[in-house]
Amino acid sequence: MTALICGSYAYDNIMVFHDRFKNHILPDKIHMLNVSFLVPDMRREFGGCAGNIAYTLNLLGGDVTPMATIGSDFKPYADWMDKCGVSRRHMKIIDTNYTGQAFITTDQDDNQITAFHPGAMGESHQNKVADADAVSIGIVSPDGRDGMIEHARQFKEAGIPFIFDPGQGMPMFGEEDLKTFLEQATWLTVNDYEMQMLLDKTSLTPAEVAAQVDALIITRGGEGSEIITKDKNIMIPVVEAEKIEDPTGCGDAFRSGLLYGLMNDLDWEVTGRIASLLGSIKIAHHGTQNHHFEMQEFKARFQSVFGMSF
């Protein structure tokens, strides 16, 4: 099976401020804020939801095709994709734009100030699902608003089952948009905060949401995840990470596991555990695409953690 991964590609610019923001922000002057932070530590990581999902699914040996719009500054990322063996066939360059960029500054209290420039991501609707050949499953992950709407509609019209993964894109959509996504999607994956936002925006109950898809997957951080199907509720345990370095991208790694299980006709108990283990592996590494493993190694660790194989 070939998975079409629709979503964002972006550079993550991560900076560390060796002090506390609160020491440099005057509460009585917050209405006229003008402050600069010296950030001697900085690194640039390859990111974006589609990029992260494709990276980990590729590690699992999945046949993966990402589809995204990127800018004229994409060459370093393109070189990385080539090194990893991830297809660039459906990466559309928008010459007049930058690739999406996140600028994240963290202080000593782990507070963050983030700015995000969507850049070429806003042109994602220029890509068409029909342009990709022999696709058997897909995912609509956070991307430009019009692109997410169009790609969900195109998957549905083509009869291709897909996961709807609204993620941080949830605030872009209103009640009718979200209800349409639910009518189109085969599976829905959200974290617990996003689930509550979905319920608030649609006035649906959890049962009504779950009834519209073949499976509703809700991640709950350190409490594991829950998979709700037409027949049962399945609780998936969290896997303790070897160390906690960086949670960014954990959800994307988790979604790679969902796709892998669906592509290989695995049951939800196994699929959810694969996803959980991938999230744990990601957390132990800085950045969203710096973890690595061989499939034999992954299967051995799965056996060790869960006492079962796949």
Burial (0-12, 13-18, 19+ Cβ within 10 Å), 18:
exposed
Task: State how far the Cα of 235 lies from the Cα of 272, in Å rounded to an integer.
Answer: 9
Q: What is the 3-state secondary structure (H, E, C) of 4-30?
A: EEECCCEEEEEEECCCCHHHCCCHHHH
User: pLDDT digit string (tens) for 148-187?
Assistant: 999 999 999 999 999 999 999 999 999 999 999 999 999 9
Average pLDDT (249-271) is 97
pLDDT band at 74 (very low <50, low <70, confident <90, very high): very high
What average pLDDT does the structure give for the chain? 96
Could you give the 3-state DSSP secondary structure of residue 222? helix
Strands (E), the chain: 2-6, 10-16, 41-47, 63-71, 90-94, 100-106, 112-117, 137-140, 162-164, 187-191, 215-219, 225-229, 233-236
Contact 185, 163 (CB under 8 A): yes
Q: Which residue has the tokens 């990402």?
A: 66
Count of beta carbons in the 10 Å neighbourhood of residue 16: 15
Task: Report pLDDT for 158.
Answer: 98
Task: Report pLDDT for 156.
Answer: 98
Task: State how far the Cα of 72 lies from the Cα of 13, in Å rounded to an integer.
Answer: 17
Which class is domain 2-19+40-306? alpha beta
Strands (E), 107-202: 112-117, 137-140, 162-164, 187-191
First to last CA, the chain: 18
- Could you give the percent of the chain with pLDDT greater than 90? 90
Q: Which residue has the tokens 């202080």?
A: 107
pTM for the predicted model, two decimal places: 0.94
Task: Report pLDDT for 202.
Answer: 98
- Amino acid letter at 18? H
Task: Report pLDDT for 29.
Answer: 83
Q: How many residues does the chain have?
A: 310
pLDDT band at 137 (very low <50, low <70, confident <90, very high): very high
Pair of tokens at residue 190: 């959200």
Higher pLDDT, 114 or 66: 66
Average pLDDT (123-136) is 97
Burial (0-12, 13-18, 19+ Cβ within 10 Å), 89:
exposed
Count of beta carbons in the 10 Å neighbourhood of residue 98: 18
Q: Which residue has the tokens 């000593």?
A: 108
Instruction: Give the alpha-carbon dihedral of 135, 52, 292, 308, to 10 degrees.
Output: -60
pLDDT band at 31 (very low <50, low <70, confident <90, very high): confident
User: pLDDT digit string (tens) for 202-259?
Assistant: 999 999 999 999 999 999 998 999 999 999 999 999 999 999 888 889 999 999 999 9
Task: Report pLDDT for 48.
Answer: 96
Task: Report pLDDT for 206.
Answer: 96
Q: Facing residues of 115 across strands? A: 103
Q: Domain locations in the chain?
A: 2-19+40-306
Average pLDDT (13-37) is 91
DSSP at 131: G
Task: Report pLDDT for 84.
Answer: 98
**Is the per-residue pLDDT at 30 higher than 90?**
no
**Is the per-residue pLDDT at 271 higher than 90?**
yes
Q: Report the candidate in 177, 184, 123 with the shortest Cα–Cα distance to residue 153.
A: 184
Task: State how far the Cα of 81 lies from the Cα of 87, in Å rounded to an integer.
Answer: 7
